Structure 1
Amino acid sequence: MRDPYAVLGVKRDAGQEEIRAAWRIVAKTVHPDQNQDDPFATIRFTEVGRAYDLLRDPQKRSRYDQAHREAEIRREMELRRMEQMRRQQSARKAQPESVQGTTESAEDVVSRIFGIDSRQQQAASNAAPPLHPSANSERQGPSGAPASSLDNSDLPVPAARRTTAAVDILSALVRRIRGLRPVVDKAPDLVCDLVVTLEDLMKQSRVTLEANGETLRVPLATGTTDGTVIRLKDQGHRINDLKRGDAVLTVRVAPGPFRVDGFDLRMTLPVTIENAVLGCETTVTAPNGDDLPVVVPAWSSSDHVIHLDGQGLADEEGNRGNLVVELRLLLWDRPDDKMIDLMRSLREGLYL
């Protein structure tokens, strides 16, 4: 489903009166009766009704706004993480290799700060006796490492010591102070929406998604509905020297004659004024194509709902939701003089 605010053309801080007025205008504009030559008029009209149903309910609107904010935050964090990964990867590739064919990591530099590592111990064993700590601390080079002298000229200075990025050394130093271990780097997850049809959910089909330059095949298991999150291991972004991320897909049902509400399905049934007042018997088409009988009670107002059990989606245990039929009062295509006179007499208190 598209952004309901964009569908109705209102701002995110719009009040209920503004939302209701916008819904009436847009619904009248895209109504199928007004666009009989447009094959997609019914889909747009259903989308408008679905957007209004979401925004007019304070709880649904609050949950949607919260989910939208969280999605924006996650997207921003993923973009920042990917950019940081690319910078780190570029920095690693730009570092020249050691003349001896060995490199010294930031963790090795920090290890030398807190205690001499094995390589330095081996080099120091062949060198002159170490200087007194006080004397050593007084002879510091520009980078903070001990400067070479006549007493320790035989001690080799690794090339990586001069090329290790300062930010990596600082990060390793903070981890050592805090007692943390460096974690295994992993590429960011691929987070996106998976648009499916109601028929795909009913048949539990295997759908495909073109993302990240690859084709993902996603199975729709029992219990999948609008908003379900599916995680595919090792199907996310690829970055060299990093473990591949996952694909995190949020199922979104494409607009159609039926609206998905959990495992229930909702549809609109237009009724005329006389049928709403007197009641009637009619049929509706179920998602599987069957015609189901519906009894409209007498004196039914707009937004009255009729529940048809077991005609919705199946949950994880195989139990199906309901088909919820919402009544909408519908006027005739042309004005009716008798109905106009009757309504006028009721409003003005005149009785014929």
Structure 2
Amino acid sequence: MRDPYSVLGVKRNAGQEEIKAAWRSVAKAVHPDQNHDDPLATVRFTEAGRAYDLLRDPDKRSRYDRQQREAEFRRMEQMRRQQAERKTKAEAPRTSDEAAEDMISRIFGVDARSQQADARQQGQARPQPQAQADGAPMQDARKTVDDAAAVDAMPARGGAPAAALISAIIRRIRGGRAKLDKAPDLVATVAVTVEDILNRVRPTVETPEGQTIRVPIGAGTSDGQVIRLKEAGHRIENLKRGDAVITVRVAPGRFRTDGFDLRIDLPITIENAVLGCETTIDGPLGPLTVTVPAWSGSDQTIRLEGEGLVKDNGERGDLVAEIRLLLWEKPDAKMIDLMRSLREGLYL
């Protein structure tokens, strides 16, 4: 969905009255009945309704503004990381002969060589082979230390591999030679429709290794749902595979999600709004009959229980139809006279 403020053409500090007036103006301008030659008129009209639905609710608007600020912060952080990566690549010739531990030690400002010296002393303190006692050249101390110290001290000529750098960072954070047990998680987002959720379609996510993961979608799934798939994330040598953490986002369509409730626009004409009527809408599982009470204004809602998304306990949310007033395709002289008389106090 595009920025709702841009859709309605209002500033981010606009008040509710200004937002409501902007929505009425935009809805009238892009209404499908007024734009028969425009195949995208319905899309724009629906988009305007969604923007107004978000901005007129203080909680939704506050949540959206907060998410936008967080997204902007993440974009700034990503830009900083990219600049840092470009700077690191530019300095690559100077650091090409560094081992993973040396590089991380330089970044963290800690001298790893003292730790490696301790490891060598521990290795030399062990009983040496007879060949060394007879005056043979002493082997590199790295080959005599324990496995963990050997991994820490192993040189990586020509630049440290990415997996070695990640392992070194994790070791540094967890405290030197602390035993590692799990690689980082793979974090991703998948976009689905309401129909995908109801039909339990399994969207896919591709891992950095080129594998395809199918994400289970079904009961209990809604917008923002986080699904964790065990041992489906990143792979690093000698570590347990990480998990895949997938966030589900519901793409715009006929329905808008509100938790496990679904929302849909219900266009009705002025006479039906005043007198009331029965009409039919396309629900997520088929046609549904809706009774519109007399004197129903725009922004009023009709709730159809048990027609929404399925929850974890098997129950279903509701389908909420939001009334939208429509004018006829062509101007009606009698209605114009009636409206003029109501506005100007004339009675014919």
Distance 1:40 1:319, change over 3 A: farther
User: Which residue pairs with 2:204 in the alignment?
Assistant: 208
The 8 Å contact of residues 99 and 155 in structure 2, kept in 1 or not, is answered as no
CA distance in 1, matches of 2:207, 2:172: 39
Task: Compute the TM-score of the two structures, normalised by the length of structure 1.
Answer: 0.68
1:268 Cα deviation from its structure 2 partner: 1.1
- Greater Cα shift, 30-39 or 218-227: 30-39
Structure 1 residue 201: Cα displacement: 0.8
| CA distance in 1: counterparts of 2:99 and 2:323, whole angstroms | 73
* Counterpart position of 1:340: 336
Within a 5 Å distance, the mapping from 1:1-352 to structure 2 comes to 1-5=1-5, 7-8=7-8, 12-16=12-16, 19-20=19-20, 22-36=22-36, 41-71=41-71, 73=73, 94-95=97-98, 109-110=114-115, 112=117, 117-121=121-125, 186-187=183-184, 189-192=186-189, 194-210=190-206, 212=208, 213-237=210-234, 245-290=242-287, 292-352=288-348
Q: Structure 2 vs 1, CA of residues 306 and 174 (structure 1 numbering), >3 Å: closer, same or farther? A: closer
State the 1:39 CA deviation: 5.3
Cα offset for 1:318?
A: 0.7
- Aligned partners of 1:198 and 1:237: how far apart in 2? 30
Structure 1 residues 11 and 342, CA gap change in structure 2 (3 angstroms): closer
Between structure 1 and structure 2, the one with the greater Rg is 1
Q: Which runs of 5+ in 1 are unaligned?
A: 98-104, 125-153
* Residues in 1 aligned to 2:207 and 2:338: alpha-carbon distance in whole angstroms: 60
Partner of 1:101: none
CA distance 1:119–1:266, shift in 2 (3 Å)? same
Q: What is the alpha-carbon distance in structure 2 between the residues aligned to residue 162 and residue 211 of structure 1? A: 29
What is the one-letter code of the residue matched to 2:97? A
Residue 306 of structure 1, CA deviation: 0.8
72-81 or 225-234, which deviates more: 72-81
Q: CA deviation at 1:48?
A: 2.9
Q: Which amino acid in 2 is paired with 1:249?
A: I
Whole-angstrom CA distance in 2 between matches of 1:238 and 1:81: 23
What amino acid is aligned across from residue 227 of structure 2 in structure 1? I
Specify the SS of the correspondent of 1:94.
coil
Report 1 or 2 for greater relative contact order, CA contacts < 8 Å, sequence distance ≥ 6: 1
How many residue pairs align between the two structures?
308
- Which one-letter code corresponds to 1:57 in the other structure? D
User: Please, what is the CA RMSD of the aligned residues?
Assistant: 4.6
Quickly say closer, same or farther: Cα 1:223–1:157, change in 2 above 3 A. closer
Structure 2: state its 5+ residue gaps: 101-109, 129-136, 143-152, 160-167
